[in-house]
């Protein structure tokens, strides 16, 4: 029983981050409980119905929040049961975590600068960087794919569908 307990928690290596699923479930449940609790508080604060036979704007969300809080608590309990259970826990791994984190940053940057840069420059730059993050190093591929993609988007969205892109 001690061995599996030692296996719980985190393992950090440069190329992979691993965490026990029940532990991650507990972290996720804590976050969800906060979110659903705030949702419940806001739903309860919504104006009461003018018509007494209606449940008002907040009625359905309040019921929903209560059900979601219960379900989240049940997931948390099941995670605790799995931690103390003799059945080995499932592990969740994130491979190439630095690249994943970098790409998340890239996606956020793209969403911030998409309009300012313009569609085609934005697609060219970020497609190039995404390919690099995914491990592509062949110069022809890294340059060719973004160019073809930008051309495809221009032809389809600008010319064929007449979408007004920045």
Partner 1 sequence: MLESLAVGFSAFGDPMVWFALVFGALAGYLIGAIPGLGPSLGVALLIPFTYGMDPVVSIVGLVALYAAAEYGGAITAILINSPGTAAAVATSWDGYPLTQQGRTGEALTVSILSSGAGIFISTLFLIITAVPLSEFALRFGPGEYFALALVGLSLVAGLSEGSPLKGTVAMGIGLALATIGLDVQTGVPRFTMGNPEFFEGLPLVPVLLGLYALSEVLFMIEDGPSEKVKSSPIGGLLALPVKAILGLKSAIVRSSVLGYAIGVIPGAGASIASFVSYAVSKRLSKTPEEFGKGALEGVASSEAANNSAVAGALAPLLALGIPGSPTTAIMIGALMVQGIQPGPLLFTKSPEIPYTVFASLWVGVPVMVLIGLAGARIWAKVANIPRPAIAAIVAGICYVGAYASHTTMFPVHIMTAFGVLGYILRKLEIPLAPIILALVLGEMMETNFRRALISNKGEWDIFYTSPMTVILILIAVLAFVLPGLSQLRARRAKAKTL
Interface positions, 100-159, toward partner 1 (CB under 8 A): 100, 103-104, 107-108, 110-111, 114-115, 119, 122-123, 126-128, 130-136, 141, 145-146, 149-150, 153, 156-157
| Helix axes of 119-133 and 139-153: crossing angle, nearest 10 degrees | 150
The 8-class DSSP code of residue 50 comes to: S
Q: How far is the CB of 8 from partner 1 (least distance, A)?
A: 16
Q: Any residues with CB less than 8 A from the CB of 56 and at least 6 apart, and which?
A: 46, 47, 48, 49
Bridge partners of 92, per DSSP, are 19
Q: Any residues with CB less than 8 A from the CB of 111 and at least 6 apart, and which?
A: none
* Contact yes or no for 134/120 (Cβ under 8 A): no
Considering only residues 34-63, where is the footprint of partner 1 by CB under 8 A? 36, 39, 42-43, 46-47, 49-61
**Tokens standing for 155?**
């032809």
Measured torsion, CA atoms of residues 135, 100, 22, 72, in degrees rounded to the nearest 10: -140
Q: How far is the CB of 113 from partner 1 (least distance, A)?
A: 10
Q: Is the Cβ of residue 83 or residue 145 nearer to partner 1 in the bound state?
A: 145
Q: According to the binding rule CB under 8 A, does residue 89 interact with partner 1? A: no
Q: Which of 30, 34, 67, 155 binds partner 1 (CB under 8 A)?
A: 67
Q: How far is the CB of 65 from partner 1 (least distance, A)?
A: 7
**Tokens standing for 78?**
């099941």
Q: How far is the CB of 89 from partner 1 (least distance, A)?
A: 12
Query: Residue count at the site for partner 1 (CB under 8 A)?
Result: 78
Q: How far is the CB of 12 from partner 1 (least distance, A)?
A: 16
Considering only residues 9-38, where is the footprint of partner 1 by CB under 8 A? 21, 24-25, 28, 32, 36
């Amino acid at each position: 029983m001690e061995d599996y307990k030692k296996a719980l928690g985190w393992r950090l290596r440069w190329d992979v981050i691993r965490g026990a699923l029940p532990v991650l479930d507990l972290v996720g449940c804590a976050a969800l409980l906060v979110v659903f609790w705030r949702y419940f508080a806001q739903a309860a604060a919504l104006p009461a119905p003018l018509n007494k036979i209606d449940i008002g704007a907040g009625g359905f969300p309040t019921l929903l929040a209560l059900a979601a809080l219960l379900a989240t608590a049940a997931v948390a309990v099941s995670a605790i049961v799995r931690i103390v259970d003799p059945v080995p826990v499932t592990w969740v791994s994130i491979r190439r975590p630095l690249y994943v984190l970098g790409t998340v940053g890239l996606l956020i940057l793209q969403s911030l600068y998409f309009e300012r840069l313009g569609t085609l420059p934005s697609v060219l730059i970020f497609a190039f960087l995404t390919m690099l993050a995914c491990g592509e190093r062949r110069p022809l591929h890294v340059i060719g794919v973004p160019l073809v993609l930008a051309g495809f988007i221009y032809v389809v969205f600008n010319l064929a569908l007449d979408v007004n892109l920045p």
